[in-house]
Structure 1
Amino acid sequence: MSPRCYAVGGVESIRYADSVNTALSRRGFVRWRTAIFAIFAASGLSIATWASRVPSIKADLGIENSQIGLMLLAMGVASILGLSASSVIIARFGTRTGMLGAMIVFAAGVALIGIGTNLAPSVAVVLVGLALFGFGNGSVDVMMNVEGAAIETQSSKTLLPLFHAFFSVGTVLGAGLGALAASLEINVFTHTAVVTALIVVVAFVAHANVPVHVGADAPQTHADAPRPAWRTRLAASLSAWREPRTYALGVVMLGMAFAEGGANDWLALGVSEDHGGGDALGATALMVFSVAMTVVRVVGGPLVDRFGRVATLRVLAVTATAGIVLFILAPTLPLVFVGAALWGMGASLGFPLGMSAAADDPARAAARVSAAATIGYVAFLCGPPVLGFISDQIGLLNTLYIVVALVVASGLASGAARPTAGSTVGVGRRVEHG
């Protein structure tokens, strides 16, 4: 094996000979992978911390649902801006430093949410906190997926579904801590202060364990070759928006993001009201969906490595379609729960595998992941409110047929996720056709 050169964001290049690559695979690689697992979990933890304390924030500030909606809008817009800015951040600083900065930004946002709720009660302060929270999470989302894809390339195994499973674990942990804090009547400021400190610790520990490497945030060059100016790298990164494959992958991710976001916001209500199950069964159905999604994300990597990325996406698109249709039409609650489980299984891997496909070429991964993720996240953030508006006109269950159509489109576009020439991740043991 010839020596490889790694460089990030203006940091001096480090050349790894065979012995160093071996050392990285045994020790540094494990630390690197664990650091990115922790970042995914911290992102999920932060999101669930906010979501779990919304009732307390509403009560403490004495605000209405319309103002909560304004807060959600501010967070969503900031998240999209963060996604869009990630290319600039990566081109200027690299993913390693960029992730540290983005985590500090969203940790500061979490802290401001608590300050604006209890310490200095103010809707404006909470709005600023949510803007920082959304921007930081949007930025780190692209960067942690770029790093996850680089780890895939290093290991030649599909790992992004497992990384996304850690995000899900973080949301479960955050929801659990939020429920515990609420039951113990711990105020939002104290709760968010503890979570902020935890996120900051994770950020610095993870940063210390992410190697200085090219990952996927800049082209590999010879160690003594001059590095292009960051504006040149930025221009190259924005070229991803001129590639048809970017939009095809965006369709794959858009359909599954609609399926996931729609379930998160409307599945419980559909069970509770439209299927007459009540609030408790509605919450239980959402839990079934979430558990099914997490389980498939945990085992998804080996499945993809066995059957290939495209075949897996197509099977899961069929699974999600069947699950949503069953959820809509089921005459009994047990079948509704079966539909929710199939829905969660089917929607589980579209987003992470879309990210993985966008990162097939390490030299262009940051740009392509950023562009494809922006398309997917616009759907994730904006889709559920659109579904809510339409459901007022035609009913919630009928509205879910829109999600069915988008999942079908995702399945039809899944050929775009076929590994590019030279990529060993997601190929499968059998050659993919079609």
Structure 2
Amino acid sequence: MTSTATEPQLKAAAGATFLVFGINGLVFASWAARIPAVTEILHITSGQMGTLLLCLAVGSLIALPTAGFVVGRIGTANTVRSAGLFAAAAGVGVALSLMAASVPGTAASLFLFGIGVGLWDVSQNIEGADVEHRLGRTIMPQFHAAYSGGAFVGALIGAGLSTLGVGLPEHLLVVAAIVAVLTTVAPRYFLPHQADAGSAAGETGRGKAVSAWRDGRTLLIGVVVLGATLTEGAGNDWIAKAAVDGLGAEQSTGALMFAAFVLAMTAMRFFGGRAIDAYGRVAVLRASMAAAAAGLCLFVFAGTIWLAAAGAVLWGVGAALAFPIGMSAAADDPRKAAARVSVVSTLGYIAFLAGPPLLGFLGDATGIRTALLAIGIPILVALLLAGAAKPLPAK
């Protein structure tokens, strides 16, 4: 990367990165908040909806390992532009498929959408890490808060449009247009990048990657992040549907329940850094996982909308900080940070993308609200292994 940048350039890059994270969250919520409408339009069960979500997950999981190579070839700005346009085009495909009530068309479009979002997500995180390093202060949690904030706005829009009777296909077409414009314009303010000093495809790079997958501490951190991201992903994908099916809520109320979950995550990501500085990673991780478990149980067993909403809020608070903490812990040794962060990110995204669809299959047998209890196990595992995130001793 370049060695110098002016203060205005850094501020512009930070603002553009913040916007790109926010748009990414808006896109995700525009889909997630209205999942009940998808099942209604296509006349499918929770398990069949899980299959559609799995198509999106497979697309992203195919894209994630290639994202570093793509960024190395064309830079973060062009990768975000390309991925944003690709995701927008796929979003149009989803809208048209829903208009035709085509399950295969929706599945294929979601697969392509997953590819675009996967490339977009990795490239925006690389840019965010660069900006953070150049500014000399921790701002990555705020970038992730922008994602959560964008998702909150998207959930509110979804709830409002559902109440007004605006169809999901029309909703997605407008979102696709917004994505195409903003992901084309915002990256022009990104910091310029150069190739890594080491050979991107050389023996050293491969050796570091293999070594990271064999590092015990890194794998334990990855397991912690896996549990945390499964918790977040399950909430994102299934809270709205669980409120509709399990509590008899209207679709607009389910979208608002999802919005409450996302708002809680957003607030915690904006202000939780102070807690990490004051009490340390391990204590905050343990408190987070305990809160997530308590919120999950309250949401599942609540007999009223208001108690379920309180559970969703507590669940969101608990799910907010574990991923950023895991990234920081993986990067403790600067010499091995890239490879180790890659391992932890991969484990986290596998859980985030692939876990929720599997809950859909379980939901066919038990009901989706009851099926959510299955994520209590990885939450408890993450709580028990939280000590792996303890900072490495200074050398």
What's the CA shift for 1:42?
A: 1.5
Letter in 2 for 1:74: C
- Are residues 402 and 333 of structure 1, via their aligned partners in 2, closer, same or farther at CA, if it must alter by over 3 Å? same
**Match for residue 37 of structure 1?**
18
In 2, Cα distance between the equivalents of 1:207 and 1:295? 26
Letter in 2 for 1:354: G
Residue 132 of structure 1 pairs with residue 116 of structure 2: no
What's the CA shift for 1:384?
A: 3.0
- Are residues 248 and 150 of structure 1, via their aligned partners in 2, closer, same or farther at CA, if it must alter by over 3 Å? farther
**Match for residue 209 of structure 2?**
238
Q: TM-score, normalised to structure 1's length?
A: 0.75
In 2, Cα distance between the equivalents of 1:58 and 1:386? 16
More helix by proportion, 1 or 2? 2
In 2, Cα distance between the equivalents of 1:54 and 1:284? 13
What's the CA shift for 1:301?
A: 2.4
Give 3-state SS (helix, strand or coil) of 2:192's partner: coil
What's the CA shift for 1:135?
A: 0.8
**Match for residue 304 of structure 1?**
276
In 2, Cα distance between the equivalents of 1:317 and 1:121? 40
Measured against aligned partners, the alpha-carbon deviations of 1:337-392 in whole angstroms (never above 9, x if no partner) come to: 44333222111111222233334455654443332222122222332343454466
Identity %: 38
Decide which of 306, 319, 322 is 2:291's aligned counterpart. 319
Decide which of 376, 382, 390 is 2:354's aligned counterpart. 382
Measured against aligned partners, the alpha-carbon deviations of 1:116-140 in whole angstroms (never above 9, x if no partner) come to: 445x885554433322210111122
The answer to whether the 8 A contact 2:51-2:357 is kept is no
The answer to whether the 8 A contact 1:157-1:301 is kept is no
Letter in 1 for 2:209: L
In 1, Cα distance between the equivalents of 2:137 and 2:203? 32
| Counterparts of residues 16-415 of structure 1 (less than 5 Å) | 16=4, 20=5, 23=6, 26-51=7-32, 64-65=44-45, 68-118=49-99, 123-179=103-159, 191-213=171-193, 219=196, 221=197, 228=199, 230=201, 235-236=206-207, 238-239=209-210, 240-267=212-239, 277-280=247-250, 285-327=257-299, 336-361=308-333, 364-390=336-362, 400-415=372-387
Give 3-state SS (helix, strand or coil) of 2:137's partner: coil
Q: Could you list the runs of 5+ residues in structure 1 that have no partner in the other structure?
A: 1-5, 7-13, 222-226, 424-434
Measured against aligned partners, the alpha-carbon deviations of 1:222-255 in whole angstroms (never above 9, x if no partner) come to: xxxxx62545576256333233333212211111
The answer to whether the 8 A contact 1:252-1:413 is kept is yes
Give 3-state SS (helix, strand or coil) of 2:138's partner: coil
In 2, Cα distance between the equivalents of 1:78 and 1:396? 24
Letter in 2 for 1:45: L
What's the CA shift for 1:260?
A: 2.0
- Are residues 265 and 232 of structure 1, via their aligned partners in 2, closer, same or farther at CA, if it must alter by over 3 Å? same
Q: Could you list the runs of 5+ residues in structure 2 that have no partner in the other structure?
A: none
The answer to whether the 8 A contact 1:45-1:174 is kept is yes
In 2, Cα distance between the equivalents of 1:129 and 1:268? 22
What's the CA shift for 1:15?
A: 3.6
The answer to whether the 8 A contact 2:21-2:144 is kept is yes
The answer to whether the 8 A contact 2:294-2:314 is kept is yes
In 2, Cα distance between the equivalents of 1:69 and 1:399? 12
Give 3-state SS (helix, strand or coil) of 1:157's partner: coil
Greater mean deviation of Cα atoms: 340-349 or 108-117: 108-117
